[in-house]
Amino acid sequence: MKSRDVRLQFGRAAEAYATSSVHARGADLDPIVDYARPRPTDVVLDVSTGAGHTAMTLAPHVARVVAVDLTPEMLAVAGRLAAGRGLRNIEFREADVRRLPFPDGLFDIVTCRTAAHHYPDLAQAVREMARVLRAGGRLVISDTISPADEVADRFINAVETLRDPTHVRDWSVAEWESALAAAGLTIQAAQEIPLELDFEDWVRRSDTPPELREVLASMLQSAPARLRTLFQVKTAPLRFSLRKAVFLATRPADA
C-alpha cells in the first residue's frame, strides 16, 4: 500500500476518527499514560497521531508534544480538537514513520497508538522510533494484535484487510517482541486489553463499500465455532472482539 493510498483513505475518514469512541475514549489510554510516566519537563513524540487523542491526553502532563501523521486532513482535525481544548503545547507536523524528520535522541517519550497495523515494515518503523528516543527514554506502543494461532491469525487479518485495504497486519506479540529487541529496546511491561467493536460503526469509520460489508458480516457470523468464540462474535447487533497489546520498552541509559 502506497503512502498516497493511506493519505486518501484516512483523509476521507478524518472526521470519523475525531469522534470514534474506540479512539477518543479507548481503554488503552490510561495504561499508555501510566507506562509513559510523563513528567513536566518531558518532550513527547506521538507517531501516527491520527485525530490526536494520545497527544492530547499526554499534553497536560509534559512540556511539549510533537504529533506527526502522514495525512494532512487528520492533522487538521487534531489541531482543531487541541485548540478547542486550549492545549497550546502540541505541535502538529506531517511526517512518515519510516523517515522521521528528527535528530537522534530528541524525545523523552515516544508513543504510537492504533496505527502500526498499517505499517508495511514493522521493524523499520520501530527502529525509527527507537532512534529518536533519548537514552533512558520510554517507548509506549498500543495496537491490535493477532492471536498466536495460525488459522485465527490468517482469518482476522483477512477480515481486517477486506474492511480497510490500508491494513497490513495485526502483528503478533512475538513479532512485536522481536522488533523491539532488534531495535535495541528492552521491554519493561506489557498487557493485553479486550477491544469490543460494533460492526456497523467499524465499517462506517473505514467507509467500507456496502458489498464488502455484507461479505464481512457473513465471514464473522458463519466462521467456525472456535473462531466465533475466540473473537466473541455476537449478533443483534453484530459485534466482535479483538485484543490490543500495550507495550512499554526503554532505550538503555548507556545507549
Residue 128 lies in a domain: yes
- What domain range includes position 57? 3-196+243-250
pTM of the model: 0.90
Q: What angle do CA 141, 207, 216 make, to 5 degrees?
A: 85
Residue 253: the pLDDT is 82
Alpha-carbon span 124 to 99, nearest angstrom? 9
Residue 97 lies in a domain: yes
Q: What CATH number is associated with residue 57? A: 3.40.50.150
Question: Is the peptide bond prior to 237 cis by the omega test (within 30 degrees of 0)?
Answer: yes
Residue 18: the pLDDT is 52
Residue 14 lies in a domain: yes
122 and 113 Cβ atoms separated by less than 8 Å: no
Residue 77 lies in a domain: yes
Residue 141 lies in a domain: yes
Residue 255: the pLDDT is 55
- Domains identified in the chain, total number: 1
Give the containing element (helix H, strand E) for 92.
strand 90-94
Which grid cell is 160? 481486517
Which grid cell is 158? 483477512
Residue 233 lies in a domain: no
pLDDT per residue of the chain (255 residues) written in tens, 0 to 9: 445 544 545 444 545 555 545 555 678 999 999 999 999 999 999 999 999 999 999 999 999 999 999 999 999 999 999 999 999 999 999 999 999 999 999 999 999 999 999 999 999 999 999 999 999 999 999 999 999 999 999 999 999 999 999 999 999 999 999 999 999 999 999 999 999 999 999 999 899 999 999 999 999 999 999 999 999 999 999 999 999 999 999 999 865
Residue 24 lies in a domain: yes
Residue spans of alpha helices (H) in 132-209: 150-163, 173-182, 199-205
Residue 67 lies in a domain: yes
Of the candidates 171, 97, 89, 170, the residue with the CA atom closest to the CA atom of residue 130: 97
